[in-house]
Structure 1
């Protein structure tokens, strides 16, 4: 049975039904401020003329996604009016009637069909193992479960509330098209995605270099060397036309109204500071803690004057600009340079030694993680941009499966603070345990006979994550000094998870270099 047969049979629809049923259980659960963000965007796009969409600021949650997503909200608003018209009034801030909640939750579940299609197409591209008759142990089936039941997407979209599944659906569809050598369709889908949410600029360098090198240049040799035979201007024009057409449809009306600077100011609000309110587990979290530790040590050694230091600006849980106390403060330009340097070897690799669509996928992962680790004002949810594509490689390679287990366990646990109410504690714990146990057991069975998936130190690190979870989720709320240090659990979680994410990034690069070396030999 081939992968295509597996996903078109009864198993894939059964998985889709099961996960949809699970999502419906969360309809009445806690939702974050992102629920009001999207309700407000429904009201803005439905009640106001297009010329005012990116100027409306009566709410703190102004429209700050690209225009194509604004048109997506506009379309949803015409369905929303049949549930409760009051949700479409801009002045009804923090409006959350039962009909509004029902519509918002159902809209996420329904638009997740794009993600379902993307997951199905990626499963069709998986290289199946020979000799296995058990459908449950086939790479395509394991990949379907890892994608459809991804813990991060479940809690971020269907409890916390966002439309990441809808967006990631376009990414998976685009990746599948490239894996199937349908590069123009893949480019079109990514162009649409980029105009839906600009965070996917993280992986745009991988797309640009891959398409230029492997689609616009044609070569006769098969050894992956630098030599190419011809450059197709026609193909380049075709790619450029696709990108330009999508951008014109998205930004065209606002350019004609002279509003492009206003739209861009909403999309790139650099005044929000280096880190999000809750630090993403990246290099800057480690940098912040080092700065704080040096400041504390300096005060105790009487090398620094405590009255001259910033008052806990980094650990106040607020979205704001701040200055470091000891280490040099970081500007947006510094983060841009660091990000570009971190992804340069990856994009150079697919230019000088292209290795097909899977080489592109590996480059995309490194671009996603490099941007996550060094970017400006990174959200913790952006780690999913690496976790989901890595699932594809994890079911095909033992080494990638080991990296996936470290990254997905660490990255998913770093999302725990998003659900901070006591009622959601059992939900996030149970869901993550189920997904993590399945990931370990399924991937171990899939790669049985090829050695251990994890190294001893990796096992120790992941066991330490259990201790961190118990300390932050169970013990800390019982301590009397929690009121004085409310940010401490977030800090511990972010710093500990930063180590795992940075390690996964380095392992992916080591894996890339090994493949380069083996190719040369």
Structure 2
């Protein structure tokens, strides 16, 4: 109810606003409604071509069956940037109503959390706190209901699959995740966590007393069952395109490696720090005449367009290099899940680390991808003080890095107010749960997070009113991305340290 009330409020106050992603999904509605399936992944009238897996395309097709009753003009492919009031109303309502799956998934996840029975303090009830952290998640709220996307029901699939694994309903969990992969392929990044956990906890029916595997207990039938689920879902999704010989075309849309290393807005990850260092070295090189200005690349790394560029001083990064870095950064968490199993919570920790590793080192990472780590981490944060500390750093930093998505003047007070309310609740509720275990943040983490306040004032209020910003339009984005990248990197390292430190102490129960 909290999420729906906030969404309806935003619908009423922001009905006239629409982002680039709004036009993306309007165009996909038109493509799936107006063309036969065999032409979906070839249509290129708009620059926003269909680049999600087939299940999402069918989802858009289903929406288009309803959209025609609001405004048929939105379903004409040639009507680029069509944004009538009925079109905006339908798009907004479609996001709100598809959140039903997300709300149900949150309910199931809350049942998997150890709650305090008989407590009279709402802020001390982990299940209630978790429900608010997920339903009222600031990042998901602004990305879906202001900026405009359909992440809510997609995260619903993920959270529901996690809940099913906690409930030892492994085949259901595997099925839901397989379906999710064919809705949005970015979830491939967390597939190693699912694969290793299902292989170890489901295909092996027994363990030794020390936690090691009993190789004689391996069930080939269970492995076949998992393989059948994956193949069945993949056949439903990709089968027609394989028959038509269109699989290479579909894959070329799903994995557009011709795009640059970074998205138009720098995601706060390792490559933001790498780019900033290259920028600083190039400025120093020009000042002291170590570099030739005529030979420097002209592409801007923080402009509004997606484009390729070459680094000036540091080695340029290729897609293969990012894939290698991502795989290497995931391996320790996957090995830990296999050799130091800690049940479903060990799987969840590995999932968060895989998501965060892909965010840190992936190719052309969108800043919104940080939610892939923040939302699952919420489940751990309400049960362990160590994870709560990491969550506060990651969520505060990651959410603030989304601010550049909302760049108009009317949106400034809205995003600040929503961010402030969510952050205050996160800190107060988690502090209440772990009040007997001391402060959640150390002095260094506290100083870093406080530093986000002057950063926001500088980038959102001071710089836009200075004349010299015309010469350095990239500076606000650069400062925001680099500062937030430090916090995300710190949270990633801290989460890895906690994973290898062994199972954390069980949260003390209220006496």
Shorter-normalised TM range: over 0.9
Q: 2:135 aligns with which of 136, 148, 153?
A: 148
Whole-Å separation in 1 of the counterparts to 2:61 and 2:166: 33
205-214 or 95-104, which deviates more: 205-214
Q: 2:197 aligns with which of 210, 215, 231?
A: 210
309-318 or 369-378, which deviates more: 309-318
Whole-Å separation in 1 of the counterparts to 2:265 and 2:133: 26
1:131 is displaced (CA, Å) by: 5.1
What are the Cα deviations for residues 43-86 of structure 1, in whole angstroms up to 9, with x where unaligned?
00000011110000000000000001000000000000111111
Whole-Å separation in 2 of the counterparts to 1:143 and 1:362: 16
Whole-Å separation in 1 of the counterparts to 2:83 and 2:248: 33
Please tell me whether the aligned partners of residues 206 and 213 of structure 2 are also in contact (alpha carbons under 8 angstroms): no
1:318 is displaced (CA, Å) by: 2.4
Please tell me whether the aligned partners of residues 294 and 326 of structure 1 are also in contact (alpha carbons under 8 angstroms): yes
1:218 is displaced (CA, Å) by: 2.0
Match of 1:355 in 2: 342
1:486 is displaced (CA, Å) by: 1.3
1:169 matches 2:137? no
1:315 is displaced (CA, Å) by: 3.2
Q: 2:259 aligns with which of 272, 292, 297?
A: 272
Match of 2:248 in 1: 261
List alignment gaps of at least 5 residues for structure 1. Answer: 1-13
1:27 is displaced (CA, Å) by: 4.5
1:297 is displaced (CA, Å) by: 1.0
Match of 2:20 in 1: 33
The alignment yields a C-alpha RMSD, in angstroms, of 1.5
Match of 2:509 in 1: none
Q: 2:411 aligns with which of 420, 424, 440?
A: 424
What are the Cα deviations for residues 314-353 of structure 1, in whole angstroms up to 9, with x where unaligned?
2333211111111110000000000001010000111112
Q: 2:269 aligns with which of 259, 268, 282?
A: 282
Match of 1:303 in 2: 290
Match of 1:57 in 2: 44
250-259 or 311-320, which deviates more: 311-320
Q: 1:240 aligns with which of 212, 215, 227?
A: 227
What are the Cα deviations for residues 228-274 of structure 1, in whole angstroms up to 9, with x where unaligned?
44111100010011111111111111111110000000000001110
1:220 is displaced (CA, Å) by: 3.8
What are the Cα deviations for residues 76-104 of structure 1, in whole angstroms up to 9, with x where unaligned?
00000111111111111100110000000
Q: 1:471 aligns with which of 445, 458, 461?
A: 458
1:26 is displaced (CA, Å) by: 4.6
Match of 1:369 in 2: 356
Whole-Å separation in 2 of the counterparts to 1:177 and 1:378: 29
CA distance 1:517–1:139, shift in 2 (3 Å): closer
Q: 2:480 aligns with which of 493, 511, 514?
A: 493
Q: 1:192 aligns with which of 153, 160, 179?
A: 179
Match of 1:119 in 2: 106
Match of 2:318 in 1: 331
CA distance 1:222–1:172, shift in 2 (3 Å): farther
CA distance 1:369–1:232, shift in 2 (3 Å): same
Match of 2:400 in 1: 413
Whole-Å separation in 2 of the counterparts to 1:300 and 1:17: 54
Q: TM-score, normalised by structure 1?
A: 0.95
Please tell me whether the aligned partners of residues 315 and 487 of structure 1 are also in contact (alpha carbons under 8 angstroms): yes
Match of 2:55 in 1: 68
Whole-Å separation in 2 of the counterparts to 1:457 and 1:413: 19
List alignment gaps of at least 5 residues for structure 2. Answer: 507-511
Please tell me whether the aligned partners of residues 276 and 319 of structure 1 are also in contact (alpha carbons under 8 angstroms): yes
Count of matched residue pairs: 506
Whole-Å separation in 1 of the counterparts to 2:226 and 2:358: 24
Secondary structure at 1:441 match in 2: helix
Please tell me whether the aligned partners of residues 27 and 105 of structure 1 are also in contact (alpha carbons under 8 angstroms): no
1:310 is displaced (CA, Å) by: 1.3
Match of 2:422 in 1: 435
Please tell me whether the aligned partners of residues 220 and 229 of structure 1 are also in contact (alpha carbons under 8 angstroms): no
Please tell me whether the aligned partners of residues 33 and 64 of structure 2 are also in contact (alpha carbons under 8 angstroms): yes
CA distance 1:358–1:26, shift in 2 (3 Å): farther
Match of 2:86 in 1: 99
Q: 1:401 aligns with which of 388, 395, 400?
A: 388
1:19 is displaced (CA, Å) by: 3.7
Match of 1:183 in 2: 170
Please tell me whether the aligned partners of residues 27 and 158 of structure 1 are also in contact (alpha carbons under 8 angstroms): no
Secondary structure at 1:503 match in 2: helix
Match of 2:115 in 1: 128
CA distance 1:16–1:489, shift in 2 (3 Å): closer
What are the Cα deviations for residues 162-217 of structure 1, in whole angstroms up to 9, with x where unaligned?
00001101001001001111110000000010000001111011111111111111
Match of 1:379 in 2: 366
CA distance 1:29–1:136, shift in 2 (3 Å): farther
CA distance 1:361–1:29, shift in 2 (3 Å): farther
215-224 or 106-115, which deviates more: 215-224
Please tell me whether the aligned partners of residues 224 and 355 of structure 1 are also in contact (alpha carbons under 8 angstroms): no
Whole-Å separation in 2 of the counterparts to 1:82 and 1:223: 62
Whole-Å separation in 2 of the counterparts to 1:467 and 1:446: 29
Please tell me whether the aligned partners of residues 35 and 162 of structure 1 are also in contact (alpha carbons under 8 angstroms): yes
Q: TM-score, normalised by structure 2?
A: 0.97
Whole-Å separation in 1 of the counterparts to 2:13 and 2:243: 42
